[in-house]
A and B are shown apart, each in its own frame.
Chain A
C-alpha cells in the first residue's frame, strides 16, 4: 500500500539530512578556509646571511674582490636610473648604488658611494658629493635558510609593493574577470568544459581564487569532485575576504620555479631569484616573464629553456596590450627586451651546507626548531665568502691531486677545513668534506679523529709555564723511552724517522716533533697536569689520563682542534668559537646578539714562549715546506700532525689574522699514506696564501726578555759566537753561564749594556 504521508515524511527527512550534511560540509570548508587563511599563512624559513662587507679607507682588499661580492649580491654593471643595485668602475675607483638594507642595528638607506682604490687597498670612501665617509656596509650575501619540511622558500611582499602593471599583466592573462566574479568564472568554466569535451583533458578555467585554493588546501589530483570542492572553497574565500587580500596571498603563494632542492614561491622571492632585484623594481617585460611562468615554471624555466620562456613572455605581453593594460609603445619596448635573468650558480637550500650546519646547531641552543623553520628569523653570521670560497676551491683541487697518486679507488680521500679570525674566534669558513655542496656527514664537526702530534703544544706549554724548570733551551732526552704502568702493556713511543736523537733543546724537540722526547717530557710533568692545560685551552671532551694520550691517542673533531688552537692564537685569551653575530625578527627587530667574550686562561708569558716555539716548527721544523707558499716574514706558528700508519694528516696554524685547521684522511680509516706536512700543510698554505695574510707579531709581555743564545751549548752567547740566536725567556730564567764561544770583552759589554738599560728605564720610564 502506498502511504502518501509516509512518502512525504521520507522525502522531508532525506532533504533535511542532505541539507544538514551539505551545510555541515560547507561549515567544515568554511572553517578550514578561515582558519588557514587567517592563521599563520606562510611558514617562513630562517634566512641566513654572510658577514656584511664593510668598506672603509685602509681596508686591504682588491677592487676585483669587491666587484665579485657585488655581482654575487646581484648588482649589475653600469648605471641604472632611479634604482639602486648597480656599480660602475674604472681602474682606480668604483661607484656603487648601494641597496637599502635592514641591519641588526637599524636600516641603512640606499645610497650612492664612490670607493677609491690604491693598489690592493681602499684609499677613500666618499658619498655622492665627494665627502669622506667613515665606512659603508654592503648588504650581506644570503647563504641559505633553515626551511620548512617541504623546502618552500619565499619573501613576503605587500600588494602595495608590487608594481600595478604586474598585477594587470597577471589579471589579463590568468583571470580577466577577477574583479567581477565571486570566486568562479562561468565563462572560464565554459571554455574549460569546451576544451574538456574536445578531449584536451580537464584544465584551465580556474580563477586566481581557485588557483589559490588549489595550492593552499588541496592535493594536485584532477577529479571532478575535487573541482567541486575547490569551487565551493573559492566562493567561501570570496565571501570572507576582499579582492586585494586574495590577490596579495596569491602573489605570495604562487610557485615560480626550483633552485635545486629549494622551491621558489611568490613574486617577492622570484624577482630576487631571477632578476636580483626587489619586486617594486620589476619592469613590464620582467613581470610578463614571471606571469608567463605561472602556467609551468619548469616548462618555461628561463635558465633551462630560454627560447620557450621568451616566446611565452611575448605571448603574455601581447595579451596584456590587447586587454588595454599596456600601450603599443610599452609593448614594443618590452618585447624587444632580453630575458634579463641573472645567470648565477644554483644555490639550493645553501651553497655552504657545512657552515650552515654549524649555524643551525648554534641556533638550536637558543631557538625552537619549529620557530627556526617558520618564523622568518634573520640570522647574521660570521661567514666570509672570500675565505670560504678559497677553502672550498683549494680543498677540492688538492684532494683530487692527491687521489691521482693513490692506489686505492673509490671512495677517495676526504678532508675538512675550519678557518677562524684568530683574535675574535669568529668562524670565517668551514668545509665538511670534499663535495662542498653536499649536505651530509660534516667532518669538520662530526669526524672525531686521532689528533696525533697536534696535542704536543699543550705539553710544551705546560712545561714553559714553569720557567724554573723549563725554557726553550732546556735539554730534553730523546733516547729510547719505555713507560710501564700496571694493567697496561708497556708503552714505547718511537720517532717518525725511526731514530733517536739524544739530548735536544726543548724547542727543537717540538720543532721536529720528536715522540720519545715529548713522551718523556710529558710524563715528567705529569699527564694530569697536561690534561688540565688541554682543558683550559678549551677542549671539553673527557680524556683518559694515559701516557699515550700525550702523543695524541685522542679523537677530536677539526672544530674542537680549532677551539684549542684559538686560545693559543689569541695569546691565552679563550674565546668560544662563534658562527653567529646577531638574530633579528623577520622585520628587523633585534632578538639576540652573540657578543664577543674573552677569558684569560693563561698568563701572557708562557703563551708568548709556546708561540715562539711553534714559529720554530714552521721556520726550522716539520712545517718548513710552508715557505713554498708563504714568505718567512709571515712568521706563521703551526703544528703538523700525522697518526699511526698515516691514517690522518693534520695541520693547525695561525698568522696575525687567521687560524686554520686542515684534516685529510679516509672516512673508513684506511692508511692514507700521507703526512701532515705532505698533505694537510699544502692545503693550508695554498689557502692562506690566497688570503693575503697578516704577519704574526705578538706583543712582548713585560715578563719576557730576549737573550742571545749559542745553539751549540745552549748557553748565553755574545757577538763572538757565530750563529747565535736571540730567544725569548721568562724574566730570570735564561741560562746564566756563558758559552765557550763568548769573549771576555763580551762579558764587559754585557755589563755596560745592562747598566745602560736600567739607566734608560729610569730616564724614560721604560
Chain B
C-alpha cells in the first residue's frame, strides 16, 4: 500500500504534453529478450567451442549474437569470459565494463563482471587492482 502511495508521489508532475523530454527512454529489460532462439543457439555453440579450446570460433559466435542483441549484457559478459581464456586481459576489462554499462539493475551480473575484471588484473600481476575489483564485486550485493 505504501508502495502505491510512493508511486503516486513519484509522478509528482509529468512535463506538459508536447513539452520536451530530454531524458532518454528507459532501457528495455534485458532478461526479456534472451528468449531469442538464435542467441541461445549461438551461445550454446560458443560454449561448446570454448570448452573445446576453439576460442576464436567462440568469440566469433558471440560477436554474431551481439550483432543481434548489442544491448544484452550477458553476451558481453560471455565474451569477456572467452577473452579471459584467450589471455587478452585488457579486453576482459573493457568488455566486462561494457557488460556493466548495460546491466541495469542486475547486481549479480555486475558482481560477476567485477570478478572477471579481478581475474584479469590478477593475471597481469596487478594485485592491488584485483583487490579493488573484488571489493567492487562485493558491493553489488
Chain A residues in contact with chain B, CB under 8 A? 54, 56-59, 104-105, 132-135, 421, 423-424, 426, 472, 507, 571, 573, 582, 590, 593, 595-600, 604, 608, 611-612, 615-616, 619-620, 633, 635, 657, 695-701, 706, 708, 718-728, 746, 749-750, 752-753, 756, 760, 765-766
Residues of A within 8 A of B67 (CB): 54, 421, 424, 426
Decide if A54 touches B64 in the complex (CB within 8 Å): yes
Q: Which of B75-111 contact A (CB under 8 A)?
A: 79, 90-91, 93-95, 97-98, 101-105, 107
A-B contacts, 7 of them at CB < 8 A, read A56-B68, A58-B36, A507-B22, A582-B60, A608-B24, A725-B22, A765-B141
State A695–B25 Cα separation when bound (angstroms).
9
> Closest approach, in angstroms, between the C-beta of B3 and any C-beta of chain A?
8
State A619–B26 Cα separation when bound (angstroms).
18
Decide if A697 touches B28 in the complex (CB within 8 Å): yes
B112 within 8 A of A: no
B15 within 8 A of A: yes
Residues of A within 8 A of B38 (CB): 54, 56-58, 134-135
Chain B residues in contact with chain A, CB under 8 A? 2-3, 6, 9-10, 12-13, 15-16, 19-28, 36-38, 40-42, 56-57, 59-61, 63-64, 66-68, 70-71, 79, 90-91, 93-95, 97-98, 101-105, 107, 141
- Closest 8 CB pairs between A and B? A134-B41, A719-B13, A56-B38, A423-B70, A756-B6, A135-B38, A698-B24, A697-B25
Decide if A708 touches B12 in the complex (CB within 8 Å): yes
State A752–B6 Cα separation when bound (angstroms).
9
Residues of A within 8 A of B63 (CB): 424, 595-596
State A167–B14 Cα separation when bound (angstroms).
78
Decide if A599 touches B94 in the complex (CB within 8 Å): yes
Decide if B22 touches A699 in the complex (CB within 8 Å): no
Residues of A within 8 A of B66 (CB): 423-424, 596
Decide if A708 touches B13 in the complex (CB within 8 Å): yes
Decide if B37 touches A56 in the complex (CB within 8 Å): yes
Closest to B63 in A: A596
Decide if A56 touches B9 in the complex (CB within 8 Å): no
> Closest approach, in angstroms, between the C-beta of B101 and any C-beta of chain A?
6
Q: Which of B37, B42, B60, B70 contacts A424 (CB 8 A)?
A: B70
Closest to A704 in B: B23
Contacts A56-B38, A135-B38, A595-B56 known; 9 new A-B pairs at CB < 8 A: A134-B37, A597-B91, A615-B24, A699-B27, A721-B13, A725-B20, A726-B22, A749-B9, A756-B9
Closest to B103 in A: A699
Decide if A723 touches B15 in the complex (CB within 8 Å): yes
Residues of A within 8 A of B97 (CB): 573, 600
Closest to A765 in B: B107
Decide if A760 touches B6 in the complex (CB within 8 Å): yes
> Closest approach, in angstroms, between the C-beta of B49 and any C-beta of chain A?
9
State A675–B130 Cα separation when bound (angstroms).
51
Residues of A within 8 A of B60 (CB): 104-105, 582, 593, 595
Decide if A727 touches B57 in the complex (CB within 8 Å): no
State A460–B2 Cα separation when bound (angstroms).
42
Residues of A within 8 A of B24 (CB): 608, 611-612, 615, 635, 696-698, 700
> Closest approach, in angstroms, between the C-beta of B56 and any C-beta of chain A?
6
> Closest approach, in angstroms, between the C-beta of A333 and any C-beta of chain B?
44
Residues of B within 8 A of A708 (CB): 12-13
> Closest approach, in angstroms, between the C-beta of A653 and any C-beta of chain B?
14
